[in-house]
Amino acid sequence: MNRNALQRLAIMRAAMGLYAVVWTLVRSANIIDTSGQPARRFDPIGPLWFLDRPLPTWVTVLGILTVLVAGTALIVGWRYRISAPTAAIAFLFVTTYRNSWGHIIHTENLASLQLLVLAIAPAATVWSLDARRGAETDTGERDDGWWAVNAMAVLAVGTYFMAGVAKLRISGLHWVNGDVLLHQVAFDNARKIIVGAPESPFAAFFLSQHWMMAPAAIGAMLIELGAPLALIKERFAAVWVTTAIMLHFGILAIMAILFPYQLLGLAMLPLLPIEARAPGVLHRHRWLGNFLRWQRRSPITSTT
């Protein structure tokens, strides 16, 4: 059995799980404070559309603790069949509930979706505590995991493609001349100044250089609408991932909007052969030696 997909899934399990745990830990105080706002500000969205009133604060705290505990188990691949779905659902709940209190922050949507796919994938077949203790790996024996890798790759490029389509539907070809982008950058930074939020220190310079608007707008559109090309070949994927990360650096620089999941490249991991570099990294870092032992004890024979 080709083991590449299982190794890629194991790396994504650790990286994406770590992101969910760290993000939840860092944002926990804000999430709890937000849930204590007046009930009139509560407007449930997405999976929580059916709620007609805010939940007790202890439910929010329980959701956060669930992400932290189950997410940690997900990272190391312990009791994965239980911990992974629990962590993914809890993370979806926490992020959705936070967004149900006014301003909708969509930066974590892709992370939530990819975690849901990862939760039902054979991502603990190798390099996990389950593999080390010889746990049942029914899925691993007949599932090479490529369906999960491909599904998460489609989710990644799909979000960018839909963003490009949305620009065309809302602005049409007017987006290409840069005027829409100019007003969007100006409005966003002006709003932040008024409400006391951090604004971009580079926005004023960017807005003064009108000649930059059209190329920036066209570049963003090409990156978003061209995202599906990353599914064709790994060479295309590497180029697209690089340009997409550069796009997020640009958004951060001129609008002070941070997409940490995308900026760190975590969203794009399914598109890249990250497992090819894993053995060298593991050999160079002794503190990762347990991963090598788990790999050797895995019931699946490597063909790489």
User: What string of H, E and C letters represents the secondary structure of the chain?
Assistant: CCCHHHHHHHHHHHHHHHHHHHHHHHHHHHHHHHCCCCHHHCCCCHHHCCCCCCCCHHHHHHHHHHHHHHHHHHHHCCCHHHHHHHHHHHHHHHHHHHHCCCCCCCCCHHHHHHHHHHHCCCCCCCCCHHHHCCCCCHHHHHCCCHHHHHHHHHHHHHHHHHHHHHHHHHHHHHHCCCHHHHHHHHHHHHHHHHHCCCCCCCHHHHHHCHHHHHHHHHHHHHHHHCHHHHHCCHHHHHHHHHHHHHHHHHHHHHHCCCCHHHHCCHHHHHHCCHHHCHHHHHHHCHHHHHHHHHHHHCCCCCCC
Answer whether residue 278 is part of any domain.
no
Answer whether residue 279 is part of any domain.
no
Do 2 and 128 lie in one domain? The reply is: yes
Answer whether residue 30 is part of any domain.
yes
Do 128 and 234 lie in one domain? The reply is: no
Answer whether residue 13 is part of any domain.
yes
Do 100 and 10 lie in one domain? The reply is: yes
Answer whether residue 78 is part of any domain.
yes
pLDDT digits (tens, 9 = 90+) for 189-246: 999 999 898 999 999 999 999 899 999 999 999 999 999 999 999 999 999 999 999 9
Do 232 and 295 lie in one domain? The reply is: no
Do 83 and 173 lie in one domain? The reply is: no
The pTM (predicted TM-score) of the whole model is: 0.88
Q: Which residues of the chain have pLDDT under 70?
A: 1-3, 104, 135-142, 278-304
* Structural domain boundaries, residue 111: 1-134+289-304
pLDDT for the residue 285: 54
Answer whether residue 139 is part of any domain.
no
State CA 158 to chain mean position distance.
Answer: 13
Answer whether residue 152 is part of any domain.
no
pLDDT for the residue 286: 57
pLDDT for the residue 142: 63
pLDDT for the residue 11: 96
Q: How many domains does the chain have?
A: 2
